Amino acid sequence: MREITYREALNEALREEMDRDPNVFLLGEDIAIYGGAYGVTAGLWKKYGDERVLDTPISENAIVGVALGAALTGMRPVAEIMYIDFIGLCLEQLNNQVAKIRYMFGGKCTVPFTLRTEGGAGRTLGAHHSQSLESWLIHIPGIKVVMPSTPYDAKGLLKSSIRENNPVVFIEHKMLYNTRGGVPEEEYTLPIGTADIKREGRDVTLVTYSRMTLFCQEAAAVLEKEGISVEIVDMRTLLPMDIETIVNSVKKTNRVIIVEEDCKTGGTGAEISAQITENAFDYLDAPVVRVAGADVPMPKSPVLEKLAVPDTERICKAVRDMVRL
């Protein structure tokens, strides 16, 4: 199988869906001539023109509002919010309109709207451009939240998101764009709401998603040399959560650690932990542990930023401590 970057996989997904369905169009800040802040939409404006790849004003609220209106009239917009840090500027539209309108109209309309954005630390961009705010979004009934970790998952899930008749927030990690992985040339999609076992193991389950999946894989390779077998569950979709896959893994290993980049307090891992307790408490040989981001605004300093997010060594230490209980 050929290997391409995460960025290239997303670009291919957009291109293929635009070729497949003339109702798919893109809008966002600097996505046309410039090709997007991280190059995901490069070349698409040249191929499809102004009517299908639209540069917008710097107004996140307007971007989401326009996309909602287009979706309600039969189009399939794919909007880009340049950084998830700016999601607060369009939360009124997203929470009160996009997520609720199909419900409030009794299912008489659909909202086939995909909102792409990126988040996470790693490039020392400071407190306004490095946050992980996915836990805000999983608290909004009526939307789906996707966070893939590999090029294969990114392409398959973005295609499914664009075809979905309900709104999807598709979150990409800025440190994944240059990562490479196998992606088939033939057509494929992946189901939204299904987790993936990235590594089979017997001693401890690591539940994770997005960039932290890569750190978990590195940690598992280190721990394997120490005789510790780690299973990795990549959530891929945070809303709806595939609790069944997590519970089945916990039943096998009897120990679970949740690894997430967002802040620990009120983070995504808190919801996962609660659901594990509700659905698999009797199978646990140790309390659920969370390895998460620090409860601080993301520092600009490279040294401090590294301390604020989980890494391979922190994951290894958590696993070793749990196995020794």
Residue boundaries of the structural domains of the chain? 3-182, 196-323
- Structure tokens belonging to residue 93: 């539209």
Residue 325's pLDDT is what? 65
CATH architecture of 3-182: 3-Layer(aba) Sandwich (3.40)
Q: Mean pLDDT for the chain?
A: 97
- Structure tokens belonging to residue 223: 């721990």
**Span 138-155, average pLDDT:** 98
Name which of 231, 204, 216 is nearest 310 in CA terms. 216
pLDDT band at 104, cuts 50/70/90?
Answer: very high
CATH of domain 196-323: 3.40.50.920
Q: Catalytic residues, which ones?
A: 60, 129
Q: What is the percent of the chain with per-residue pLDDT over 90, rounded to a whole number?
A: 99
Helix residue ranges, H only, 49-183: 60-72, 91, 101-104, 134-137, 151-163
pLDDT band at 17, cuts 50/70/90?
Answer: very high
Residue 220's pLDDT is what? 98
Distance CA 150, CA 148 (A): 6
pLDDT band at 162, cuts 50/70/90?
Answer: very high
Distance CA 289, CA 284 (A): 11
Task: Note the pTM of the prediction, 2 decimals.
Answer: 0.97
**Span 152-174, average pLDDT:** 98
Q: What is the percent of the chain with per-residue pLDDT over 70, rounded to a whole number?
A: 100
What is the DSSP pairing of strand 3-5 with strand 180-182?
antiparallel
Q: What is the dihedral of CA 242, 76, 134, 54, to 10 degrees?
A: 150
pLDDT band at 324, cuts 50/70/90?
Answer: confident
Half-sphere exposure of 159 (CA within 13 A, CB side): 20
Under a CB-based contact definition with an 8 Å cutoff, are residues 314 and 291 in contact? Answer: yes
Tokens 């089979």 identify what position? 200
pLDDT tens-digit profile of 215-267?
Answer: 999 999 999 999 999 999 999 999 999 999 999 999 999 999 999 999 999 99
